[in-house]
């Protein structure tokens, strides 16, 4: 029998809209001003085993997964919320905090209405080989 992993409830605390991104594909845009140093919300998805994540990564072009603790992974391509579309930027306006079973987003500074949310993804499965399209003045060039 396959072991079921309990997925917690994920909340978004500020209204966001997903639409075409200036960075890549779809982005997440603020519908209301977000003050500096505030929790924006928890990335939606399902928690799966690392083994299952490896299988799923083989079959997708765009990965929406974050490694958690205890060989678990949050797959944001299943049951996502608006935060799934926060794109990478080398000079972001938010940051990611990974806890035991959550991927949380916090604002680094005030985010204006209509502004696209971005976060520095840090180390990824791309290992610095995916070209970065963030357009920031201090862009590193790769994710």
pLDDT in tens, 101-113: 899 999 999 999 9
Which structural domains are found in the chain, ordered by start? Answer: 16-119 (2.170.270.10)
Judge whether 75 and 6 are in contact, CB under 8 Å.
no
pLDDT bin (cut points 50, 70, 90) of residue 3 is: low
Phi then psi for residue 20, to 5 deg, are: -50, 135
pLDDT in tens, 79-127: 899 999 999 999 999 999 998 889 999 999 999 999 999 999 876 665 6
Output the pLDDT for position 60: 74
**Tokens in use for 23?**
């960075």
Read off the pTM. Answer: 0.88
């Amino acid at each position: 029998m396959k072991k079921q992993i309990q997925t917690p409830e994920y909340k978004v605390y500020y209204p966001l809209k997903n639409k075409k991104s200036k960075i890549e594909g779809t982005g997440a845009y603020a519908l209301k001003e977000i003050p500096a140093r505030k929790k924006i919300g928890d990335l939606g998805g399902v928690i799966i085993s690392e083994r299952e994540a490896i299988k799923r990564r083989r079959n997708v072009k765009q990965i929406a997964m974050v490694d958690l603790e205890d060989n678990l992974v949050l797959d944001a391509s299943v049951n996502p919320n608006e935060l799934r579309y926060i794109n990478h930027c080398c000079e972001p306006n938010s940051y990611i905090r990974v806890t035991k079973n959550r991927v949380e987003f916090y604002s680094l500074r005030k985010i204006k209405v209509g502004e696209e949310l971005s976060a520095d993804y840090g180390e990824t499965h791309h290992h610095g080989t995916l070209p970065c399209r963030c357009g920031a003045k201090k862009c590193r060039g790769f994710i």
